[in-house]
Amino acid sequence: MHRRTFLRTTVGAAASLAVASSLTERARAATAPFARPRVSEDVLSQHYPFVLPPLGYANDAVEPAVDAQTMSIHHDKHHATYVTNLNKALETQTALQGKTLRELLTGLATLPDGVRTTVRNNGGGHANHAMFWMLLAPGGAKTPSGALASAIVRDFGSVTACLAAMKTAGLGQFGSGWSWLMRDGGGKLTVRGLPNQDSPLTDGMRPVVGIDVWEHAYYLKYQNRRTEYLDAVLATVNWDAAAIAYA
C-alpha cells in the first residue's frame, strides 16, 4: 500500500473509532441510572465562599436539546459569574458568611439593603442553575412516576397538562426568567414564571422543575425560537431528579 494511502486509511480508521467511542459513551450515559441526586441540595447547603460544582457530564451529553457550546458557556461562564459575584458581595458581610445559600434565599427580606439585590440575583442564579444541571443530567426517567406523578395528575389533571402549563409560563415570561414547577408546604403543585434569577425559595416554595428561559440558555442554537427550545428541554427533563426535589 502506498504510504500516503496507508496514512489516510489509518487516520480515517482512528477517527471512526473515536466517533464510535464517543457515541457509545453518550448512549451509555443516556441509559445509565441517575447518579447525581443531591447536587442541588448540596449547593443549597453551601455557605461563603461558594463554589461552582462541576457539570457532572459531558457538554454534549444533552444534545440535540442543548448544544455543547451553549452548555459550556452557560455552566463555565454564566453560572461561574453568579458564584463569583455572590462571593464578592459577602466578602465584608461577616454576619452573613455562615448562612447557607438556602438561608440567604429564604430570608432575603431580612438581608441588609446593600447586599439584598445582589444575593437575590446571584444567589438565586447559583441555586437555580445547580437545579437546572441536575434536571438535564443524562439517565433517569423521561416521564414522572410515583408520588410526583400522582401529585401532577391531582393538581393538573395530567402530565401533558402540566408540561403545557410550564411551556405557557416559559413563553409568557417577558424577557429573562424561568418557568417553574413548584410545590408549597402542603405538597400542592403549581406552575409560575419568575423573572431574572428569582428563586421559588424566596416565596416559601420548593422548586421541583425549573426551565431557564434567559436568551443565553438557548440563543446559539434556537435564536428567537423559544418555543422549540422549551419543547426540547421539557422532553429531556430527568424526572428522577425532579422526584427527588419534590420529595
Convert the pLDDT of each residue in 56-102 to its tens digit.
999 999 999 999 999 999 999 999 999 999 999 999 999 999 999 99
Three-state DSSP state, 91: coil
Res. 26: pLDDT tops 50:
no
pLDDT tens, position by position, 182-208 = 999 999 999 999 999 999 999 999 999
Count CA atoms within 13 Å of residue 178 on its CB side.
24
Q: What is the pLDDT of residue 20?
A: 42
Res. 16: pLDDT tops 50:
no
Cell (9 digits) for 199: 428563586
Please measure the distance between the N-terminal and C-terminal CA atoms of the chain and give it in whole angstroms: 64
Give the rounded distance of the alpha carbon of 55 from its chain centre: 10
Give the integer Cα–Cα distance in Å for 207 and 184: 9
Cell (9 digits) for 157: 389533571
Neighbours of 105 (CB within 10 A): 24
Concatenated DSSP letters for 29-67? HHHSPP--TTHHHHHHT-BSSP-PPP--S-TTTTTTTS-
What ranges in 48-195 are assigned the alpha helix state H? 68-73, 80-90, 101-106, 113-118, 124-136, 146-156, 159-172
pLDDT band at 139 (very low <50, low <70, confident <90, very high): confident
Residue whose C-alpha cell is 446571584: 122
Q: Which domains does the chain have, with CATH numbers?
A: 43-59+67-136 (1.10.287.990), 140-246 (3.55.40.20)
